[in-house]
Amino acid sequence: KNEVEQSPQNLTAQEGEFITINCSYSVGISALHWLQQHPGGGIVSLFMLSSGKKKHGRLIATINIQEKHSSLHITASHPRDSAVYICAVNSGGSNYKLTFGKGTLLTVNP
Amino acid sequence: NAGVTQTPKFQVLKTGQSMTLQCAQDMNHNSMYWYRQDPGMGLRLIYYSASEGTTDKGEVPNGYNVSRLNKREFSLRLESAAPSQTSVYFCASGGTVEQPQHFGDGTRLSIL
């Protein structure tokens, strides 16, 4: 079973700060996902990565396959970025099952 | 653009009662999933269905049953609810090497 570890568990920032959330996994993967969940809300997919780097607006996701590590960066953070960010990996196989990290609770204060 | 629709959104049950959580997707996905989310833990897979007519156990299947009624619908049943099943339940569909899974808004279930 693939173990997925996220750090930090909780993160508080001031508006405008640069944010980094980390994710490490234990065995090989076919893809890594970053998901966002607002308080009391549903879960939406932000990024799906198998290599390199992706950017969407102020969000950047990177992955290092050799080191089994991914980072999610938020530039110029805003209070509306406050949410739980979840890392999930798919280890391949015939069924696209995901293993999830416990999530990082981000609070951005104005 | 409904995506994945879960009903109900909230439910309170007494221990021993039964209920069915409904999930429907309109994206023509073959695979569907039921997860539970508990404080301090990551999402855990209860059951999944790789295609219409098939279902398989996930990580935490005890106390639950599922039915893949057709390609669109995948229901989760609690036959005799227990307080340990108090959780937020998410249904998801899809997921391939090129496309992520799509999640419903969740069902918040409390069992007293």
Q: Which residue of B has its CA nearest to A9?
A: B40
How distant, in Å, are the alpha carbons of A33, A75, A83, B31 from that of B100? 8, 24, 19, 12
Tens place of pLDDT for every residue, chain A, 110 residues?
Answer: 668 999 999 999 999 999 999 999 998 888 999 999 998 888 999 999 999 999 999 999 999 999 999 999 999 999 999 999 999 998 876 667 899 999 999 999 99
A4 CB burial (10 A radius; 0-12, 13-18, 19+): buried
DSSP assignment string, B17-52? --EEEEEEESS--S-EEEEEE-TTS--EEEEEESST
Nearest CB neighbour to B96, from listed A42, A96, A97: A96
Q: Return the closest-CA partner of residue B79 out of B36, B16, B14.
A: B16
pLDDT at A39: 86
pLDDT, position A25? 95
- The CA distance from B35 to B37, in Å, is 7
Distance from CA of B7 to the nearest CA of A (A): 13
CB contact under 8 A, A43 and B90: yes
Interface test with A, best of B6, B34, B38, B43 (most A CBs within 10 A): B43
Q: Is A22 touching B (CB cutoff 8 A)?
A: no
Q: Please write down the HEC assignment for all residues of B66-87.
A: EEECCCCEEEEEECCCCHHHCE
Which chain A residues are Cβ-neighbours of B40 within 8 angstroms?
102
Best residue in A91, A97, A102, A105 for a mutation probing chain B (most B CBs within 10 Å): A97
Three-class DSSP labels, A2-13: CCEEEECCEEEE
pLDDT in tens, chain B (112 residues): 579 999 999 999 999 999 999 999 999 999 999 999 998 888 999 999 999 999 999 999 999 999 998 999 999 999 999 999 999 999 999 987 778 899 999 999 999 9
